[in-house]
């Protein structure tokens, strides 16, 4: 009995050590692993498109069509992102005098309370700080370009290898590993597609409601605030928070009325809470199979590891991990612990 217990403890210790090792190398391997995670998510979303196109077009032509669809979607998303923030930035430039007035008022208030703004600016803003900002922006642009290039390469190779990889899994001698990889991959892909579909629908609804709400207050750039809410809503918790604070700060400057700004802040939060915390979980059903605490932890933990991209990809990664854990007897307890505990989630593959 003691010998058998010791034999069972060894694999568990190895799993813990391996998990800690993987967690330790995640930040260091962000250049390679983060694009790989994005490529897997894109692969789950795009493979059904390529599979359908392959029914009436040659394989490589279907691959080009699939990549074209992805590029068009990314260009459209990037255009509306640039348009909305560009419009807000343009409005700020056109109303520089108003911002200067508010800055002078704030400066006088601070000086009346013994805070010298000129000293603060002299200590914290200078040529060196400007150069650091320029270097940081340049580095981010270069790393972003490399990130998308690596992710696109992973995706291209993945789309070419899906069918071959599935065939190799089916010929594996280990039936447990074969079933884990096949069922886990299929269900994970289904859940990720459903998650992104529901996230897109709820983001559109959030953007529309925020557009109508800010229009009711006659807040300038109402359409732009709606589009910004739509874009940022893809990042759970963090995105909606930013999409709420930006119009509130704008209203505080534009309306010169803190009561209206507070009303806008409360209204935006009610919209975000109702759609994101009440309606979306009921619409998504088993698409997440995660408890709200795990969703929140996934956003902040992966955001800490990989930055803003980690906050975006954190929930899909957790969905994949929990789904695969449920398909193996030794790790099913992880799914039961971190999941939502629904009967359908315990019963097997969702449809």
- Reported as a single tens digit per residue, the pLDDT across 67-115 is 888 889 888 888 988 888 888 888 877 777 777 776 677 777 777 766 6
| Predicted local confidence at residue 7, as pLDDT | 43
pLDDT at position 9: 42
Would you say 88 and 219 are in contact if contact means Cβ atoms under 8 Å apart? Answer: no
**Are the beta carbons of 213 and 287 closer than 8 angstroms?**
no
Q: In which band, very low, low, confident or very high, does the pLDDT at 13 lie, cut at 50, 70 and 90?
A: low
| Apex 219 CA angle, 216 and 225, nearest 5 | 95
pLDDT tens for each residue of 174-218: 888 888 888 888 888 988 998 898 889 989 999 999 999 998 888
Q: How far apart are CA 266 and CA 251, in angstroms?
A: 12
**Can you read off the two tokens belonging to residue 7?**
């034999």
Return mean pLDDT, the chain. 78
Q: Specify whether the CB–CB gap between 42 and 155 falls below 8 A.
A: yes
How far CA 234 is from CA of 119, 177, 315, in Å, comes to: 40, 33, 10
Q: What is the pLDDT of residue 294?
A: 82
Residue 184, both tokens:
């886990």
Torsions phi, psi of 98, nearest 5? -65, -45
pTM: 0.78
Q: Quick one: pLDDT at residue 132?
A: 63
Task: Give the DSSP per-residue string, 168-179.
Answer: HHHT-S-HHHHH
What does DSSP assign to residue 175?
H
Output the pLDDT for position 211: 93
230-287 pLDDT, tens digit per residue, is 998 888 888 888 889 888 888 887 776 778 888 889 999 999 888 877 777 777 655 5
Quick check: helix, strand or coil at residue 176?
Answer: helix
* Cβ pair 191, 350 in contact under 8 A: yes
């Amino acid at each position: 009995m003691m010998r058998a217990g010791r034999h069972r403890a060894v694999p568990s210790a190895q799993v813990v050590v391996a998990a800690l090792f993987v967690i330790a190398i995640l930040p260091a391997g962000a250049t390679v692993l983060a694009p790989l995670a994005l490529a897997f998510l894109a692969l789950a979303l795009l493979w059904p498109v390529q599979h359908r196109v392959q029914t009436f077009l040659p394989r490589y032509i279907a691959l080009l069509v699939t990549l074209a669809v992805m590029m068009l979607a990314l260009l459209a998303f990037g255009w509306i992102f640039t348009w909305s923030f560009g419009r807000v930035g343009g409005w700020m430039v056109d109303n520089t005098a108003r911002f200067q007035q508010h800055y002078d008022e704030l400066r006088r208030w601070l000086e009346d309370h013994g805070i010298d703004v000129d000293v603060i600016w002299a200590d914290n803003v200078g040529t060196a700080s400007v150069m650091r900002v320029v270097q940081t922006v340049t580095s981010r642009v270069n790393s972003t370009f490399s990130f998308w290039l690596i992710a696109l390469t992973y995706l291209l190779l993945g789309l070419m290898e899906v069918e071959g990889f599935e065939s190799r899994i089916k010929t594996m001698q280990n039936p447990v590993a074969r079933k884990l990889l096949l069922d886990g991959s299929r269900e994970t892909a289904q859940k990720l597609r459903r998650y992104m579909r529901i996230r897109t629908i709820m983001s559109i609804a959030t953007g529309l409601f925020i557009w109508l709400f800010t229009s009711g207050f006659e807040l300038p750039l109402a359409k732009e605030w709606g589009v910004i809410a739509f874009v940022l809503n893809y990042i759970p918790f963090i995105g909606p928070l930013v999409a709420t604070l930006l119009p509130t700060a704008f209203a505080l400057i534009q309306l010169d009325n803190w009561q209206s700004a507070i009303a806008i802040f409360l209204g935006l939060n009610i919209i975000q809470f109702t759609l994101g915390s009440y309606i979306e979980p009921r619409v998504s059903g088993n698409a997440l199979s995660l408890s709200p605490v795990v969703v929140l932890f996934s956003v902040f933990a992966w955001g800490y590891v990989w930055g803003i991209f980690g906050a975006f990809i954190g929930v899909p990664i957790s969905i994949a991990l929990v789904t695969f854990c449920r398909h193996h007897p030794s790790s099913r307890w992880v799914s039961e612990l971190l999941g939502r505990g629904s009967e359908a989630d315990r019963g097997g593959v969702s449809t």
